[in-house]
Structure 1
Amino acid sequence: MINSYVGGVVYDVMAHHAMPGNRAEVLRDTYIPRWRAGKLDGAVVQVHNWQVIGSYFAEIARSEGEITYCTTRADFDNRPEGSFGLFFSLEGHGDLAGDLEALYALDALGVTTFTFSHNLQNLLCTGSNERFGEGGFSHLGKATLKELEQTSLMVDLVHMSRASFWDALDLYDGDLFVSHSNADALCPHPRNLTDDQIKAVAERNGVVGLNTFRGYVAPDPTKATLSDLLDHAMHMYNLIGPEHISIGADYCESPVEMLVPILDMVDPEGAHGIKGRGRELYEFGPDGIEDAGHLGNLAAGLAERGLRQDEIDLICGESYLRMLERARPGEQHG
């Protein structure tokens, strides 16, 4: 099983690596055991700048083979037995926004994905939680999209306003997907996707990753359950089939105290029900799938909903790997 969005862990990793003389192994000591308990054997972690990339590479090097850096399907399929596969995705709206030449370095390093937004307006586009959310791509964002067509990085349309989403489909001809969003039809929220958006991603051979964040699972997030998340899965299944669904389980991962200010920041006016509710909404996932150690319950739930094993395999990683293989065909890191 592969989780195509592991966000919060980066803050814990960076806090440890900021200590002088550190020899931190945060992934190996804290997170990999939890992920393995949830039946994961691969994950996509978010990187923001060169410092974060260096910290993750240091952790991989110190892992004695327990973690394998993966840039392609071949890397993942051929990793040593029992080794955990780690992919990198750049949340490129931060330090590297506008550095078009850096895209080629990131591509050469094997970073798989470029993400344009984190819910708010930035230099590249308008995010989903912006008060005036109908703005789309800026000129710089359009230039970045154009440059990305010359690389093998996939484009992740998550966190965008709907206007930005449709701009991207109009402007960009390469591989794209949405790493962690649910169905707006079941849980109305600007971060979730309308049926038209879900179908548009599938028409471009992309995938939509099921998101475990309570606020995007149920209209009353305090009552969100695994069954609610399975309802999202089945809604997408009926719209686009299992070959266009993946797992984008956005768990808190890092200590919640690190992440509460970030949640307040992305909803500064409380317009989307997040500000002031970070601990309540994000500390634990929906009942029955509370953290990454319980992700195996999702696969079991899909079976109970009547999916065949080959369909479950698609959702649990095969769909993501097929998309990656199209983006980086025949390549292997190292």
Structure 2
Amino acid sequence: MKKITLICLALLFSLVSCNQETKEEKIARIHTKALTLDSHTDTPLRFTRDNFSIAEKHDGKATYSRVDLPRMQEGGLDAVFIAAFISQRARTAEGHEKANQITHKIIDSIYAQVSRNEKKVAIGTKPESAYENEKNGKHTFYIGIENGFALGKDIQEIERFYNRGVRYITLAHTSNNDICDSSTDSTEHNGLTDFGKEVVKKMNETGMIIDVSHISDKSLNDVIELTRTPIIASHSNARAICDNPRNLTDDMLKKVAENGGVVQVCLLSDYVKPPVPQPKRDSAFDALRRKWRGFDDLTEEERAQAVREWHATQRNFPQKLATVSDLADHIDHIVKIAGIDHVGIGSDFDGGGGLKDCFDVSEMQNITKELVKRGYSEKEIIKIWGGNFMRVFKEVEEKKTKV
């Protein structure tokens, strides 16, 4: 009897051992289960030049392209907000009109890319879109606008953009505009302008998510005081970990949490970890900025050439990049200060984002790997990867009063 019992116990132990999940299996399972959402890439910058196709797998190290459908599949990324980025131009009637035209042209290019690959990707307009598309084996492209300069001074453009599928607007970029001050420009308005306050109200009414990445500290505080819906920072980090004006202070993190919003950590290395001095590289990029007038007010042809030269300079002077572990330090800090319900991921791929071990979208699972390593639970990782953002998205939609 004892011998039989021992045999049974051995068999039971063997069965349990066979059923034990390896660490790699756990990472893959959680990553697959989560609705993985990247809240900010600038990939459409490529859609209007160089015959770029999202259906083709591109060599990230050779082209500095970070996102396409084959690599989204490899990295297990379900959905992405791709931004119609507009650089700051002269704040004149002509400048506003040109910016608006370019933004609509970029949106056209997004729809064109999707229509050519409709079996693999679809435009999303609601939080449910990504979940439904995932079940049907499709990726989801959501549309954002980076730089409220695209509105000009026409408040009705918010509704027009919404009707075209746009679901968030980043209020400013690297320079001040007619809505508010930028975090990387001098103080001009001391926060939101009167027009900016009207923009916030109209976005609330329309169901458009307000994105506070890039805007000044005072501008962010003004938005939080005025908005009646949760906000996002689509690609920003914690200033306590990396002291950069593009990142949020602990006080700002707390205010975003009180607002019910979410801060989406950014993979742009300089916002993750203070850059290692590289004098030759810095000089080369300074020369490019002078040549292309700070990349402001460029024609489409000039911008395309400037981007090519920028990528060539990146290849000639490769940056010493931060790591996924460095990025996770920001997630840890935001969780500590704001709570687990107020952090997500917004890579800024194709706009400067990319880490040593998450260079492009094909390596996104490395973030899940690091979170598992640090002891985050499955439930917490699902919140970080998309759950928190979708909660905000849904609430903004539910509180809209006019479309």
After TM superposition, the score normalised by the length of structure 1 is 0.83
Give the Å deviation of 1:320: 1.1
Give the Å deviation of 1:93: 2.3
Alpha-carbon distance in structure 2 between the residues aligned to 1:148 and 1:106: 11
Q: Could you tell me which residue of structure 2 aligns to residue 29 of structure 1?
A: 56
The residue type equivalent to 2:171 in the other structure is: F
Q: 1:295 aligns with which of 350, 359, 364?
A: 364
Could you give the per-residue CA deviations for residues 276-334 of structure 1, whole angstroms, max 9, x where no partner exists?
Answer: xxxxxx4x722222222211100110010000011001111111111111122499xxx
Give the Å deviation of 1:11: 1.4
Q: Could you tell me which residue of structure 2 aligns to residue 57 of structure 1?
A: 111
Give the Å deviation of 1:96: 2.3
Q: Are the aligned partners of 2:46 and 2:52 in contact in 1 as well (CA < 8 Å)?
A: no
* 1:164 maps onto 2:233 in alignment: no
Give the Å deviation of 1:223: 5.3
Give the Å deviation of 1:149: 2.4
* 1:5 maps onto 2:40 in alignment: yes
Q: Could you tell me which residue of structure 2 aligns to residue 270 of structure 1?
A: none
Task: Report the 3-state secondary structure (helix = DSSP H, G, I; strand = E; otherwise coil) of the residue aligned with 2:55.
Answer: helix
Q: Are the aligned partners of 2:340 and 2:380 in contact in 1 as well (CA < 8 Å)?
A: yes
Task: Report the 3-state secondary structure (helix = DSSP H, G, I; strand = E; otherwise coil) of the residue aligned with 1:56.
Answer: helix
Q: Could you tell me which residue of structure 2 aligns to residue 96 of structure 1?
A: 151
Give the Å deviation of 1:25: 6.4
Q: 1:316 aligns with which of 357, 363, 385?
A: 385
Q: 1:46 aligns with which of 83, 90, 108?
A: 83
Give the Å deviation of 1:132: 3.7
Q: 1:236 aligns with which of 334, 358, 361?
A: 334
Could you give the per-residue CA deviations for residues 91-111 of structure 1, whole angstroms, max 9, x where no partner exists?
Answer: 242332322112112223332
Q: 1:213 aligns with which of 262, 265, 268?
A: 268
After superposition, the Cα gap between the structure-2 partners of 1:227 and 1:92, relative to the gap in structure 1 and judged at 3 Å, is: closer
The 5 Å alignment of 1:129-168 reads 129-132=184-187, 135-168=190-223
Q: Are the aligned partners of 1:134 and 1:163 in contact in 2 as well (CA < 8 Å)?
A: no
Alpha-carbon distance in structure 2 between the residues aligned to 1:45 and 1:241: 26
The 5 Å alignment of 1:73-84 reads 73-79=127-133, 81-84=136-139
Give the Å deviation of 1:70: 0.6
Q: Are the aligned partners of 2:234 and 2:264 in contact in 1 as well (CA < 8 Å)?
A: yes
Give the Å deviation of 1:126: 0.8
Q: Could you tell me which residue of structure 1 aligns to residue 49 of structure 2?
A: 15
The residue type equivalent to 2:382 in the other structure is: D
Task: Report the 3-state secondary structure (helix = DSSP H, G, I; strand = E; otherwise coil) of the residue aligned with 1:150.
Answer: helix
Could you give the per-residue CA deviations for residues 77-130 of structure 1, whole angstroms, max 9, x where no partner exists?
Answer: 112522111101122423323221121122233321111111211121110111
Task: Report the 3-state secondary structure (helix = DSSP H, G, I; strand = E; otherwise coil) of the residue aligned with 2:367.
Answer: helix
Give the Å deviation of 1:237: 1.4
Q: Are the aligned partners of 2:229 and 2:399 in contact in 1 as well (CA < 8 Å)?
A: no
Alpha-carbon distance in structure 1 between the residues aligned to 2:52 and 2:350: 19
Q: Are the aligned partners of 1:133 and 1:161 in contact in 2 as well (CA < 8 Å)?
A: no
After superposition, the Cα gap between the structure-2 partners of 1:129 and 1:51, relative to the gap in structure 1 and judged at 3 Å, is: same
Q: Are the aligned partners of 2:237 and 2:248 in contact in 1 as well (CA < 8 Å)?
A: yes
Alpha-carbon distance in structure 2 between the residues aligned to 1:89 and 1:129: 21
Structure 2 spans left out of the alignment, 5+ residues = 1-35, 58-67, 86-102, 277-319
Task: Report the 3-state secondary structure (helix = DSSP H, G, I; strand = E; otherwise coil) of the residue aligned with 2:206.
Answer: coil
Q: Are the aligned partners of 1:119 and 1:126 in contact in 2 as well (CA < 8 Å)?
A: no
Structure 1 spans left out of the alignment, 5+ residues = 17-23, 254-281
Higher helix share: 2
Q: Could you tell me which residue of structure 2 aligns to residue 262 of structure 1?
A: none
The residue type equivalent to 1:4 in the other structure is: S
Alpha-carbon distance in structure 1 between the residues aligned to 2:118 and 2:205: 35
- Provide the aligned length of Structure 1 versus Structure 2: 294
After superposition, the Cα gap between the structure-2 partners of 1:109 and 1:11, relative to the gap in structure 1 and judged at 3 Å, is: closer
Of stretches 225-234 and 24-33 in structure 1, the one that deviates more from structure 2 is 24-33
The residue type equivalent to 2:53 in the other structure is: V
After superposition, the Cα gap between the structure-2 partners of 1:233 and 1:106, relative to the gap in structure 1 and judged at 3 Å, is: same
Alpha-carbon distance in structure 2 between the residues aligned to 1:110 and 1:50: 11
Q: Are the aligned partners of 1:285 and 1:291 in contact in 2 as well (CA < 8 Å)?
A: yes
Q: Are the aligned partners of 1:127 and 1:133 in contact in 2 as well (CA < 8 Å)?
A: no
After TM superposition, the score normalised by the length of structure 2 is 0.69
Could you give the per-residue CA deviations for residues 27-56 of structure 1, whole angstroms, max 9, x where no partner exists?
Answer: 222411122222201000112511111111
Q: Are the aligned partners of 1:6 and 1:250 in contact in 2 as well (CA < 8 Å)?
A: yes
Larger radius of gyration: 2
After superposition, the Cα gap between the structure-2 partners of 1:312 and 1:133, relative to the gap in structure 1 and judged at 3 Å, is: farther
Of stretches 133-142 and 156-165 in structure 1, the one that deviates more from structure 2 is 133-142
Alpha-carbon distance in structure 2 between the residues aligned to 1:195 and 1:117: 21
Task: Report the 3-state secondary structure (helix = DSSP H, G, I; strand = E; otherwise coil) of the residue aligned with 1:306.
Answer: coil
